[in-house]
Each structure stands twice: as C-alpha cells, then as structure tokens.
Amino acid sequence: MRLDIFTLFPEAFDWFQSQRSVQNALAEGSELRLFNYRDTTPLNAGQVDDSPYGGGAGMVLRVDVVDAALRAAYPSEERPRVVLLSPTGRMLDDALADELTAEPHLALLCGRYEGFDERVHEHLANDEVSIGRYVLAGGELPAMVLADVVMRKLPGALGHAQSAVEESFSQMLEGAPEYPHYTRPVLHRGWGVPDVLLSGDHERVRRWRAEQSRARAAQLDPRAE
Ligand SMILES: C[S@@+](CC[C@H](N)C(=O)[O-])C[C@H]1O[C@@H](n2cnc3c(N)ncnc32)[C@H](O)[C@@H]1O
C-alpha cells in the first residue's frame, strides 16, 4: 500500500514512522510519504490559509492551495482515493479500516485552523473520515490513527501473523471485543489468573475465550455504537 499524507506539520509524523508496525509494513513494501501544503502553495511567502468570507473567527485552508498540493503529487489524471480528515466525517471503525486497507493507494488530507474551504470537501476529497465526535486542533493525530489501524492490518506489519486477525471487532470474533489476556506472574497481590488458562486444555481455553468475548459484547455501551 502507498499512503500519502498532506499536512502543514510533516514533522509530527516522525515518532509515528519509527513505530515497529509501521517499520515492518514499510519493510514489506508499503510506502508512507509526507507532503507539506506550504511546499507547493501558489501563494507568496508560504501562505496556505485565509480569513473566512462572511467574517468570523479563525482561518480557513484555501482550496487553491490543497488543489496545488494534489496536482503536484499526482501530475497525471490518476489519483488515489482522497480521504479528508474531519470531525463530522464517516466514523472510523474496523469495517471502514478494512475497506481502506484494501485500497492500493490512499491520500489523507489533514486540516488545521477552522478546517478546509468547503470546495475541498466537495471537489477534491472522495471521503471524509472522523475519529470521533469531538474537535482536535488538527488532522495529524486523526491521520496517524487512521494510518496506524490500516498499516497494522497489512501482511507482515505485526510480528505474529494472527495478532491482527483475532482482535477486538474483527470478523474472527464476530465483531465482539477480544477476550482478556494474562501473563506472569500467576499471582500478584492476591490477584490470580483464571484456572482454565493454566489448564493446558486448548479446547477449554478456546471455549472460555469465546464466552468472554461474547460477554464483553453484551456489556458494550450501546451509546458508543
Ligand atoms: C480545529 S479542526 C476544524 C473544526 C471545524 N471548524 C468544525 O467545527 O468542525 C481542524 C482540523 O482538524 C481535523 N480534525 C479535528 N478533529 C477531528 C476529528 N475528530 N476527526 C478527524 N479529523 C479531525 C480536521 O482535519 C479539521 O479540518
């Protein structure tokens, strides 16, 4: 997969790119590229935003600036699916992450300030994705969240091939939360480990985990759906 991220703060992704799962995905042939709107702005002195028509607080990212960034990155007609990060977009969940992971090439548009000129939403983006119904200062953290969930689903991103397959909300668990995990020590301050996990009986363990997963699904807060 190739993932292109358009942002005013490419340095914000330094830590993200150093993560093991991202490094693994890159080693397996994926690409992560960062584009700064300021590098291709047609305006003087690196200007990328302007005050809103009709007045009001804050600055708006200009449509000509975003258009120039996309044209520079994709000089031919062929463009990847362009995903604009927005608090009011389609809510990111595991199904949407699966859908996006199937794309060979994605472009993510990170907003700042008051967000994008509406014509970016209408004419330049294919999708709008939100990571939650709250407003963050910029699209960089949402882009990292989206990139993380997508890249860790790629083959080879995780050390253990099954780790992303049997995970909370995966098809393997029928969309339910994952079962609880325990590791050493077997007893800490009187807090023990369920006997079944120490039994060595794989079939019992499998059944216990399935029950736990279903019980957790029943307890999920319906308001979060
Ligand atoms: C301060 S926000 C703009 C908020 C906008 N004025 C509003 O009221 O909806 C700036 C940028 O951060 C990003 N952003 C903020 N919260 C987000 C969220 N929950 N999900 C996805 N992107 C978000 C978007 O790219 C947005 O353009």
Residue 163 lies in a domain: no
Residue 33 lies in a domain: yes
Q: How far is CA 51 from CA 11, 59, 63, 115, 125, in A?
A: 26, 5, 13, 11, 22
Please check whether residues 202 and 93 belong to one and the same domain. no
Please check whether residues 65 and 102 belong to one and the same domain. yes
Indicate the SS3 state at residue 108: strand
Prediction pTM value:
0.94
For 91-141, how does the pLDDT look when each residue is reduced to its tens digit (9 = 90+)?
A: 999 999 999 999 999 999 999 999 999 999 999 999 999 999 999 999 999
Residue 19 lies in a domain: yes
Looking up residue 217, the CATH number of its domain turns out to be 1.10.1270.20
Please check whether residues 65 and 23 belong to one and the same domain. yes
Distance separating alpha carbons of residues 13 and 29, to the nearest angstrom? 19
Q: How far is the CA of 87 from the centre of ligand 1 (A)?
A: 5
Please check whether residues 95 and 134 belong to one and the same domain. yes
Residue 79: per-residue pLDDT:
95
Domain that holds residue 15: 2-151
Domain endpoint, select from 151, 186, 207: 151
Looking at ligand 1, which residue's alpha carbon is closest to its atom 17?
A: 87
Please check whether residues 147 and 175 belong to one and the same domain. no
Residue 220: per-residue pLDDT:
87
Residue 177: how many CA atoms within 13 Å on its side-chain side? 13
Indicate the SS3 state at residue 210: helix
* Ligand 1 contact via 121 beta carbon (within 6 Å): no
Residue 57 lies in a domain: yes
Q: How far is the CA of 89 from the centre of ligand 1 (A)?
A: 9
Buried b (16+ CB within 10 A) or exposed e, 4-30: bbbbbebebbeebeebebbebbbeeeb
Looking at ligand 1, which residue's alpha carbon is closest to its atom 13?
A: 139
The total number of structural domains in the chain stands at: 2
Residue 165: per-residue pLDDT:
77
Residue 202: per-residue pLDDT:
98
Instruction: State the pairing for strand pair 31-36/49-50.
Output: unpaired
Which residues in the chain show pLDDT less than 50?
A: none
C-beta of residue 83 within 8 angstroms of C-beta of residue 100: yes
Looking at ligand 1, which residue's alpha carbon is closest to its atom 6?
A: 114
Residue 215 lies in a domain: yes
Residue 155: per-residue pLDDT:
86
Please check whether residues 142 and 59 belong to one and the same domain. yes
Residue 120 lies in a domain: yes
Looking at ligand 1, which residue's alpha carbon is closest to its atom 9?
A: 87
Q: How far is the CA of 188 from the centre of ligand 1 (A)?
A: 43
* Ligand 1 contact via 83 beta carbon (within 6 Å): no
Residue 159: per-residue pLDDT:
73
Residue 160 lies in a domain: no
Please state, as a whole number, how many other Cβ atoms lie within 10 Å of the Cβ of residue 106: 21
Residue 158 lies in a domain: no
Please check whether residues 144 and 178 belong to one and the same domain. no
Please check whether residues 98 and 188 belong to one and the same domain. no
Q: How far is the CA of 40 from the centre of ligand 1 (A)?
A: 22
* Ligand 1 contact via 87 beta carbon (within 6 Å): yes
Please check whether residues 137 and 51 belong to one and the same domain. yes
Pick the atom of ligand 1 nearest to 131's CA.
Answer: 20
Looking up residue 144, the CATH number of its domain turns out to be 3.40.1280.10
